[in-house]
Amino acid sequence: MKSETLFQVSTLTDFQKKGYDGQISIETMLAYGDTGFGTYHELNGEMIVLDGVAYRARGDCSVEVANLSETTPFATLGFLKKDEEQFLAVNGDLRALMKNLNILTGISQKPILARLTSVFDIIELHGVWPQKKPYEELDKIVSDQSILVMEKIRGVLVGIYCPESAQGMNVVGWHFHFLSADKKIGGHVNDLSVGDLVVEFEIKESLSII
């Protein structure tokens, strides 16, 4: 059953109420999945989980491997089966990518975990620097972060789709984090321009709190 479930730490509603204090360790979290994303205690970076390793994209979008003893206040992850790869032609921006992914995966009423690999013509990212109490609103914190724009960069998008039924629990629709192939650059994806991608995805049966 674990392989059929997408897991998360906390809920989006609680997280948006300044719930930025870590709840479980990264080591414990990784027992529930090898692919996903989230953040760290005090919003200390954007999290990208790939191949069972938790990476941190700092506020300048530089990347390091997180310590297993660190904690997370909010994360979503699962095990991604290594099924047959599919090719997806987008030739457009982030909205075009989401539209084409919806066609590829079908209009799902279940959560989807995806891994998308390509050379991105342009990708716009942000990370986040650690915060201190009293915490500010999430929108204010995100708006204060600097934006990094990269061109012709190879890497991987971790994508998670949540249906309308996940309202309040997680972000409805698609959400992406990026990690470069050399694992030096990463972060939350604001926008992009891409041609073709190699896609692996899995439709999960449920979304469950750890």
DSSP assignment of 12-66 equals: HHHHHTT--S--EEHHHHGGG-SEEEEE-GGG-SEEEEETTEEEEE-TTSBEEEP
For 86-203, CATH gives 3.30.1330.80
Q: Is this prediction's pTM over 0.95?
A: yes
pLDDT at 107: 75
Q: Is the pLDDT of residue 15 over 80?
A: yes
Count, residues in the chain: 210
pLDDT in tens, 23-34: 999 999 999 999
Look at the alpha carbons of 186, 192, 196, 202 in this order and tell me if their dihedral is positive or negative: positive
Joined tokens for residue 147: 């934006």
Location of each CATH 3.30.1330.80 domain in the chain? 2-78, 86-203
Residue type, 180: S
- CATH T-level topology, domain 2-78: 60s Ribosomal Protein L30; Chain: A; (3.30.1330)
pLDDT in tens, 28-74: 999 999 999 999 999 999 999 999 999 999 999 999 999 999 999 99
